Amino acid sequence: FNYRIVEGTSHLSKHAYGRAIDINPRVNPFVKRNSITPENGKIYAQRDVKKCKGKYKYNMIHRNDRVYRIFRKHGFQWGGDWITYKDYQHFEKR
Residue type, 53: K
CA-based nearest residue to 6, from 34, 14, 82: 14
Q: Per residue in 41-55, is it b (16+ CB within 10 Å) or e — as a string?
A: bebbbebeeeebebe
- The confidence score (pLDDT) of residue 17 equals 94
User: pLDDT below 70 — which residues of the chain?
Assistant: none
- The confidence score (pLDDT) of residue 2 equals 86
Residues 71, 50: Cα–Cα separation, whole Å: 25
Prediction pTM value: 0.91
Domain boundaries, the chain: 21-93
